[in-house]
Structure 1
Amino acid sequence: MTRGGTLRRRVVLAGVAGTTAGLAGCSGVFGGGSAVSVLAAGSLNDALENGLRERVDQRVTVESHGSARVARLVAEGQKDPDIVAVADVALFESTLRPDWYAEFATNSLVLAYDADSQGGRRVAAAGTDGWWQPLLDGDVSLGRTDPDLDPLGYRTLFALELANDHYDTETDLRAAIPDPAQLYPETQLVSQFETGAIDAAFTYRSMAVDRGYAFLDLPAAIDLGDPSLADQYGSTSYELPDGTVVSGAPISYAATLRHESGAANAVFEALIGDGYLTEFGFTVPEAYPRYTGQPPDGVAS
C-alpha cells in the first residue's frame, strides 16, 4: 500500500474510534466499573486513544465530541465523567466553571487540503497569500465543524474574520465563505478527504500532522496560535446557542479532574503532563501545565 493509502486508512480508523467511543459513552460506560472516564475534545481523540492509553496502567474510557457539546453535556447533567478536557479554556470560564483547571497544550489553525483533488491543488497553488480566493470563488469544496458544537468551528469563523484585515479584502470572508452544507463532526472532518466529499478543511495543525495530510500554514495574525497576538484575536467573537459569547484567543487546551481517586488522579497527571502530545502534533509550552484555581493536594506535582 502507498504511504497515502496508509495515512488515509488511519484517518478512517480515527473516525471509527471516535464514533465507537461515543457509542460506548451512550451505552452507560460513565459511572460503571472501575474504568477512568474521560470526556474530551474531538481533536484530542487520537492522542488519548493511541498515546495516553499506552502510558497508564489504569483502564480508560474515552468519549469525544466538539468541546462546546462536551461542556453542555456536563453542565446539563447528561454526562458525569471523571475527567473533562476541552479545546478552549473559555468553556471552563463560562459554561462549566470548575473550581480549577490545568492548561496543558496549544495548537494553531491550518488549511488542510486533498493533494489528489483538483480543488485541493487550487488551494495549494494559491498558497499562504491567496488561499482564500479559490474558497471565495467556489472552486473548492470546503469542510469545517459546527461552531455551535465545537471551538474549531467558531475558530474557523474567527480566522476568516481576521483574514479580512490581514489581506485587506474587499469581501467579508466570514460572511461569504461559510456554507451550512460544509459542516461535519470534528472526529470525521478530515476523513471526508477519503470519500471525496471535500477538497479542503480548516483544522488544527495537530490533526493534519498526525494524519499526514498536506496543509497550508496560516499567518500568525489569523491562525490563533501566537500568544503575543491575544489582543488582536480578541477582536472576534461568537455567540453559542446558550447565550455564551466566546471571543477569539490563542488556542489552549485545558482539563479538570471532577472525581478524585487513585486511578483517576494517575490518569489525569498522565493526560496533562506525560509528554506524548507533541508526538501527535500539539505544542506544549515550557510553562505548561499551567493551573487556574487551586487543584487538590497531590494533583499539581
Structure 2
Amino acid sequence: MVGDTSIGRRQVLAGIASGLAGTAGCFRTRGGGGESATVSMLAAGSLNNALENGLRSNVDATIQVEAHGSAEAARLVAEGQKDPAIVSLADIALFDSPLSPEWFAEFATNSIVIAYNSDTDGGQRLAEAGSKNWFNPILDDDVTLGRTDPELDPLGYRSLFMLGLATEYYGTGADLRAAIPTREQIYPETQLISQFETGSIDAAIAYRNMAVERGYDYVDLPVEIDLSDPAYSDAYSTASYELPSGKVVQGGVISYGSTIRHQSPAVVDVFNAHTTSQYLSEFGFVVPKDYPRFTANVPHDVTD
C-alpha cells in the first residue's frame, strides 16, 4: 500500500544540525532579555528534523543539536570526542555497547518503508510495483536506490535486515540482501531523502518519519519485514550485522532511546519535552501508549 502523507510535498525541509555542541553539556548564556539555558543534544540523524523544527519551539532553553548516524554518535561519545547533555539514538542496543548509561528511556518507534520520488520514471515504476513487487524494478536496475551506511547508523543495518527478511517473505529467486546493496547507494542519514531534490536517486530505504516529514510518497512494507511490530520480534531477530567494532547487532523492533549525561533543571525540562511531546507523532514517529519506558536507575526528577 502506498502511504498517505499529511504534510505537503517539500513544504517541510530537513533542519540543519547546529552541531557545535563539543564539550559543553549545559551552560548559561546571557542575552538582551536576561539569562537563558543552552542544552546540547547528540542525536540520530532521523531525529534531526523533528528536533530542529518540532522540539525547539516546545522548550524555553536554547538547544544545540548535532546529528549523526546512531552508531557513529555512540562511538563519538564512548571515545570521548563528544560530551553532550543528552544523547538520543535510533537503537537502544547501543546503550548496552558501546555506551553504558545508568538509565535510558525508550520514547518512540518507527518502520522501514521505501520512499520514492513520484516525479521520476524510476519512482513511478516503484509505485506501480507496490508493496508486493517493489524489489523487482530495483533488481532490474529501473530504479536508482539510496540507503545509509550500516557501519554508521541503525537505518543502514536495518535496511539489510529488511532485505534479508524480504527474501524469505516474498520467496524471491535472488537473495535481496546480497543482490541489491552497492556502495554507490550510500548517503549520510541526514542527507538521504534530500537526494530526491538533486535527482541523484529515485527511491530510498528509509524510516517512515523521514518520508512523512518531507512530504514524499512511500511504499508501506508488510509488518513481517518492516521491523515495526513486537509480534514479529522473534522473526526480526534472525537477522544480524557485525559492526566494525566487532559488536553484533540483532534484528528487532525499531526503538528510539534517550538518556541524560549532564543533569540540570534545564536539561531535564528539554529531555521531558523531547521524550513526551506531541511533536514526535506530528513528524511521523509512532509513540505507543506505554511510552516513554524507562530502564534502570532513573533520577526522580526525570520521572516526576
Bin the TM-score by the shorter chain. over 0.9
Q: Take 1:67 and 1:160, find their aligned partners in 2: how far apart are those partners?
A: 20
Q: Take 1:30 and 1:179, find their aligned partners in 2: how far apart are those partners?
A: 38
Gaps of 5+ in 2: 1-7, 29-36
SS of structure 1 residue aligned to 2:96: helix
Amino acid at match of 1:200: A
Task: Pick the aligned partner of 1:216 from 216, 219, 230.
Answer: 219
Amino acid at match of 1:258: R
- 1:196: which partner in 2? 199
- C-alpha contact 2:149 2:188 (8 A) present in aligned 1: yes
- 2:33: which partner in 1? none
- 1:3: which partner in 2? none
Q: Share of identical aligned residues, percent?
A: 58
Are 1:99 and 2:102 an aligned pair? yes
Are 1:206 and 2:194 an aligned pair? no
Aligned length: 289
Deviation at 1:10, TM superposition (A): 3.6
- C-alpha contact 2:26 2:264 (8 A) present in aligned 1: no
Query: Going by fraction, where is helix more abundant, 1 or 2?
Result: 1
- 1:258: which partner in 2? 261
| Equivalent residue runs for 1:162-201 within 5 Å | 162-201=165-204
Deviation at 1:275, TM superposition (A): 2.1
SS of structure 2 residue aligned to 1:96: coil
Gaps of 5+ in 1: 1-5
- C-alpha contact 1:30 1:79 (8 A) present in aligned 2: no
Are 1:133 and 2:136 an aligned pair? yes
Q: Take 1:101 and 1:219, find their aligned partners in 2: how far apart are those partners?
A: 30
- 1:37: which partner in 2? 40
- 1:8: which partner in 2? 10
Runs of 4+ that moved beyond 2 A: 6-11, 28-34
SS of structure 1 residue aligned to 2:84: coil
Deviation at 1:74, TM superposition (A): 0.3
Query: Going by fraction, where is strand more abundant, 1 or 2?
Result: 2
Q: Take 1:48 and 1:281, find their aligned partners in 2: how far apart are those partners?
A: 12
Deviation at 1:59, TM superposition (A): 1.3
Amino acid at match of 1:113: Y
- C-alpha contact 2:25 2:262 (8 A) present in aligned 1: no
- 2:164: which partner in 1? 161
RMSD: 1.4
Amino acid at match of 2:195: Q
Deviates more, 1:90-99 or 1:75-84: 90-99
Q: Take 2:244 and 2:26, find their aligned partners in 1: how far apart are those partners?
A: 28
- C-alpha contact 1:31 1:80 (8 A) present in aligned 2: no
- 2:92: which partner in 1? 89
SS of structure 2 residue aligned to 1:220: coil
Per-residue CA distance 1:22-61 (angstroms, 9 max, x = gap): 3x346x6656644110100010011111111111111111
